[in-house]
Structure 1
Amino acid sequence: MNWVLPQWVEQVDRARPVVAPLSTSPVRPGTVNELIFFGRHELRKGFSLFIKAVASKPELSSLALTFVGRFDRIDCEFTGSMALRHLGGHAGRIKFINTLAQKEALDYIGKRPHALCVMPSLIENSPCTVGECLTLGVPFIAGRVGGTGELLHADSLADAL
């Protein structure tokens, strides 16, 4: 499956059609040193699920955590504060990046060779973040909701969702 985000259509070289399917880099055990929550800090995007899951897994405490996406409020609490409250004992670096435009965010993510993007959406249709990770070749794990599985090869579903 070739994925072309609508805003990138003009960048496609029509003289050289893409024939290779999109894929991500393999993730070898012990090579991930950073988890990137990629998306808006909303309940439906799985923000609370992500921070609670990381906080409950001591084996993840040494990983760097990066939140790429816009801040929000959940139950009247600022999402940055919520993350820090739940992750108070996290030993790794915690970084919030919320001012980047889409291209800048993708450039940042694309330059993180040992990162795993996490998009644990609870409600989704056809997530652009999954298409963007596929376009960049960045490894990811996403929620098994909506049409997300339709963007992936059947053999990848168990590993990626």
Structure 2
Amino acid sequence: MKAFAIFLITAGFILGAVFAVLSVETVDWLPYGLSLFLGFAGIVLFRKAKYAGAADEHHVAGNIDTLQTSLDSICRNLDELVGRREKVPPHEFRFEIDRHFRNDLTAFAASRESMQHAFGLQAYADIMSAFAAGERYINRVWTASADGYVDEVMAYLEKAQRQFAEAREAFAAQRG
């Protein structure tokens, strides 16, 4: 279904481009309009196919498990990093973040849309708001570490810890 939809999109917009430039003075609107309609029909089919796959019960359940695992791992690693922050040189935090957080942050981001299907849009917004803030703070820790700003490393590390804890609590509340 997706392959057919991509074919329609491609064919529709290529034909539209061809019909738009066939004549220098005017555009033959009927074939041009039909080709654009074909392209837009492909977009609609593609979105329906994508939504059907994303809303599949097994797909959503698997992604919810991935989200839970990733969020727990992020919080656990962050608690551990905050606990030993005095022992880690400030310029080393960026390497710690790359080593302990990047895979979980990526996995969470890749699976996040399943929260909409499982929990609803408002719960998704609440969880993602806290998660996004935590991710921004983690990225700020990385940048401050690279730039050598020790005070910012410590301050944003604690802010990230609070935001991810809030995201985990909101996620746990939705899972029941």
The normalised TM-score by structure 1 is 0.22
| Structure that is richer in strand per residue | 1
The normalised TM-score by structure 2 is 0.20
Rg: which structure is higher? 2
**Which structure is higher in RCO with an 8 Å CA cutoff and minimum separation 6?**
1
